[in-house]
Amino acid sequence: MRQAQKVPTRSPVERRLVIGLNIALTALIGDEPHVLCVKRPGGWGLPFGRFDPDEHRTFELALRDFVERQTSVPLGYVEQLYTFGDRGREAPRASLVMGDEVDRIVSIGYLALSPEAAEPSLESAQWRPWYAFFPWEDRRSQGGPLPLIEERLRAWAGTDSERLDRLAFTQGGDDLPWPEERALDRFEVMYEARLVAEAHRDRDGVEGPELYGEAMISDHRRILATAIGRLRGKMRYRPVIFQVMPDAFTLSDLQSGIEAVLGFRIHKQNFRRGVESAHLVEKTEKTVQQTGGRPAAVYRAGASSGVTTALGLPLPRFKQTAPR
Amino acid sequence: MRQAQKVPTRSPVERRLVIGLNIALTALIGDEPHVLCVKRPGGWGLPFGRFDPDEHRTFELALRDFVERQTSVPLGYVEQLYTFGDRGREAPRASLVMGDEVDRIVSIGYLALSPEAAEPSLESAQWRPWYAFFPWEDRRSQGGPLPLIEERLRAWAGTDSERLDRLAFTQGGDDLPWPEERALDRFEVMYEARLVAEAHRDRDGVEGPELYGEAMISDHRRILATAIGRLRGKMRYRPVIFQVMPDAFTLSDLQSGIEAVLGFRIHKQNFRRGVESAHLVEKTEKTVQQTGGRPAAVYRAGASSGVTTALGLPLPRFKQTAPR
DNA sequence: GTTTGATATACTCGAAGTGAGCAAAAGGGG
DNA sequence: CCCCTTTTGCTCACTTCGAGTATATCAAAC
């Protein structure tokens, strides 16, 4: 009944809703995660398609359809991220340029993974490294560019306790670890601290003193940040890393792939111990030697059950046999 | 440029896109989590509103607007869950009933939390317990109804390794813990095993031998499952539990609130240790005694930084000082 | 007023997981 | 055969976590 009484009071000019599907298609090239980008008038953007309800039964089918048709890059693993629909922030430029009667665009972001960076058929499409857009997310070479940014963020926060909380949440520090999966939250903070070009583009034209990372059109950088964070987070409880790894790999390959996604280096021996105990890979008889050292055993992703846990506040897990 | 060439090939009859906002508003009543439901022709459903791009700048504003107007229950914490848009599964009945020229409905699900279960102004709105819809998610009283369901699920899986993997992922078992946050995945499994009424409603009218939990209209039960899982998961790394707790509470209150959400009981002494070390609450001077025993100290949520971690595969965390 | 019942609170102990490093193995190149 | 490099195996201290024992503090019963 509720629905019925909610007859929309439309404006005189019909303004249609348009659903856009945006995809952050990720693949590893060497030791660098890349995302498929498309050159647009305003700069780099993610592959984008309009969802046509008459043509497509599901979002995912629509997505696969138009990405494969446009770039001839096949999609493997696909996962929905978030739906962005705010006006005033998402693409205010476009709205203004096209006048007030423009369609309202709602964009649904997706993450997709591919084990290989297939050559796109469109020349405007191109693989670009993640960290060109998010230099602060790559901390593999020690501290990285963080010290400078951290200083600016501290200045932004001042003594505002809410802002300081957000910094602790997004940046870690003290005895808190670096929460690598909170890439979106970090981007939001960068946005509000006006350290990324989008913040100035969306509000006023005044450029800030120093801006970090390449901008993308509309809110595509937020979508990419969401994708990065989701992938990082998911790696901890699902073997998604194998969706971007080739069939055969050494443990060092696997490790550097994971490091590339996580954005920091990890302890080699402990990593191996973890991989062994997780039973997610199988050793083959082959060995290769890509470096100057001892040849490495070649592994492949194995069929197996998944290992799981996840904690934070010291909350226990249900262990079938309840405690007393 | 890409966008321009994608001029939609519309069907002769204009079929509009409609964005519906669905909300799973949760509050604790006693030791039971409840969700605000609305009685509809087809059964219980979640509060639902149509997003009007002319009227609302953001989804969240629209949501707050129509929920507060319709039920006069104020929204506190709000979080987007997922966008459902598949045809054929979501609401095939409605489509059939209304013919082929019906609008295409895309629904965005939201989770909202309230510290109190305010009386709704509409008489068709009502607070209903979570676990009426998901009896298998409540394992506080020992094993609960699981044994029966598990048997059916094993029968459904048979020897199909993919299905067995899904069971391990959703149900735990062996030495794997019960992954309480995967409520949606569990519901999907129940759906495919045809153990919930929606599965039969959506495909054919034949009712199964035994169905579990109350059905909801459309895909609302999936949205609620998503909400439950999200809240459970989020509790581990964010202090969201205080969004459903009153201002003042004892540690026992807090524990039973958490248990109610998690769906299982936890060790009391360890829980306190964890709460202490997390520094998320402050003890007041007051004490109360609601039971027959020793009076309990009254606490309140305190301002503080958040504790964080999260693991799965044995991956380490970035600790500022990189290992070698 | 002492006992009993009940719950809140404090502390202990062992198991398992994790971080960090030492050291041997297995190649290639002088 | 020695040196350099990377892979692989293993140890050890430390922290966290699960589970239990013990004590404190009240109300109500006797």
Tens of pLDDT, residue by residue over A112-159, are: 999 999 898 888 999 999 999 999 999 988 656 677 888 999 999 998
What pLDDT band is residue A237 in, cutting at 50, 70 and 90? confident
| Pairwise pLDDT comparison (A146 vs B194), residue with the higher score | B194
Mean pLDDT (whole number) for B39-66: 90
Torsion of CA B172, B174, B177, B179, to 10 degrees: 0
Highest mean pLDDT range out of A244-253, B164-173, B195-204, B296-305? A244-253
Mean pLDDT (whole number) for B25-34: 96
Cβ <8 Å between A308 and B104: no
Average pLDDT for chain B: 82
Q: Is B212 on the interface with A (CB under 8 A)?
A: no
Closest CA to B27 of B79, B96, B75: B75
Mean pLDDT (whole number) for B59-88: 87
Torsion of CA A103, A108, A114, A116, to 10 degrees: 30
In a mutagenesis test of the B interface, which of A318, A321, A324 is the best target, namely the one with the most B β-carbons within 10 Å? A318
Tokens for A285? 């008889």
For B269, the closest chain A residue by CA position comes to A324
d(CA B68, CA B72): 4
Question: Using CB atoms and an 8 Å cut-off, which of residues 21-80 of chain A contact chain B?
Answer: 38, 40-41, 47-55, 57-59, 66, 70, 80
- Please check the confidence at residue A14 and state whether its pLDDT lies above 70: no
d(CA B227, CA B25): 9
pLDDT recorded at residue B160: 87
Instruction: Evaluate if the CB of B319 falls below 7 Å from strand D.
Output: no
* Torsional sign, CA B303, A311, A251, A30: negative
Q: Is A155 on the interface with B (CB under 8 A)?
A: no
Q: Is A176 on the interface with B (CB under 8 A)?
A: yes
Strand-pair category, A32-40 with A17-29: antiparallel
Query: Contact at 8 Å (CB) between A40 and B1?
Result: yes
The share of chain B scoring above pLDDT 70, in percent, equals: 80
Q: How far is the CA of A323 from the C1' of D18 (A)?
A: 9
* Torsional sign, CA B80, B82, B88, B92: negative
- Please check the confidence at residue A88 and state whether its pLDDT lies above 50: yes
Q: Which amino acid makes up residue B157?
A: A
Mean pLDDT (whole number) for A269-297: 89
> Which of B6, B239, B267 lies at the smallest CB-CB distance from A316?
B267
What 3-state class would DSSP assign to A69? Answer: helix
Closest CA to B19 of B109, B87, B92, B113: B109
pLDDT recorded at residue A316: 56
> Which of B16, B108, B236 lies at the smallest CB-CB distance from A311?
B236
Question: If you ran DSSP here, which 8-state letter would residue B122 be given?
Answer: S
pLDDT recorded at residue A78: 95
In a mutagenesis test of the A interface, which of B5, B81, B308, B319 is the best target, namely the one with the most A β-carbons within 10 Å? B308
Strand-pair category, B296-301 with B77-84: unpaired
pLDDT recorded at residue B238: 85
What 3-state class would DSSP assign to A294? Answer: coil
Highest mean pLDDT range out of A62-66, A190-194, A208-212, B270-274? A190-194
Mean pLDDT (whole number) for A65-76: 83
Sort B278 into a burial class: Cβ within 10 Å, 0-12 / 13-18 / 19+.
Answer: middle
d(CA A135, CA A263): 10
pLDDT recorded at residue A171: 87
Tokens for B40? 């509809």
- Please check the confidence at residue A291 and state whether its pLDDT lies above 90: no
- Please check the confidence at residue B102 and state whether its pLDDT lies above 70: no
Q: Is B251 on the interface with A (CB under 8 A)?
A: no
pTM: 0.87
The share of chain A scoring above pLDDT 90, in percent, equals: 46
In a mutagenesis test of the A interface, which of B315, B319, B324 is the best target, namely the one with the most A β-carbons within 10 Å? B315
Cβ <8 Å between A53 and B177: no
Cβ <8 Å between A48 and B2: yes
Q: Which amino acid makes up residue A12?
A: P
What pLDDT band is residue A278 in, cutting at 50, 70 and 90? confident
Q: Is B270 on the interface with A (CB under 8 A)?
A: yes
| Rounded-to-5 percentages of helix, strand, coil across chain B | 35, 20, 45
Q: Which residues of B touch A239 (CB under 8 A)?
A: 313
- Report pLDDT digits (tens) over B155-183: 999 988 888 888 888 888 766 788 899 99
Highest mean pLDDT range out of A103-112, B101-110, B217-226? B217-226
d(CA A130, CA A232): 13
What pLDDT band is residue B83 in, cutting at 50, 70 and 90? very high
3-class secondary structure for A211-275? CCCCCCCCCHHHHHHHHHHHHHHHHCCCCHHHHCCCCEEEHHHHHHHHHHHHCCCCCHHHHHHHH
Mean pLDDT (whole number) for B305-311: 31
- Give the range among A1-10, A185-194, A258-267, B293-302 with minimum mean pLDDT: A1-10
d(CA A233, CA A162): 25
pLDDT recorded at residue B217: 92
d(CA B255, CA B265): 9
Q: Which residues of A touch B71 (CB under 8 A)?
A: none
d(CA B251, CA A315): 14
- Please check the confidence at residue B97 and state whether its pLDDT lies above 70: no
d(CA B5, CA B38): 44
For A324, the closest chain B residue by CA position comes to B267
Positions on chain D within 7 A of a protein C-beta? 4-11, 16-21, 24-28
Mean pLDDT (whole number) for B56-85: 89
Mean pLDDT (whole number) for B3-32: 73
**In sequence order, what are the residues at sequence separation of 6 or more whose Cβ sits closer than 8 angstroms to the Cβ of residue B9?**
A52, A54, A55
Cβ <8 Å between B139 and A280: no
Find the nucleotide nearest B323 (Cα to C1′).
Answer: C20
State which residues between 257 and 316 of chain A bring their CB within 7 Å of strand D.
268-270, 272-273, 287, 291-297, 311, 314, 316
pLDDT recorded at residue B175: 67
- Report pLDDT digits (tens) over B226-242: 999 999 988 888 888 99
Strand-pair category, A17-29 with A48-50: antiparallel
Question: If you ran DSSP here, which 8-state letter would residue A320 be given?
Answer: S
- Please check the confidence at residue B143 and state whether its pLDDT lies above 70: no
pLDDT recorded at residue B55: 85
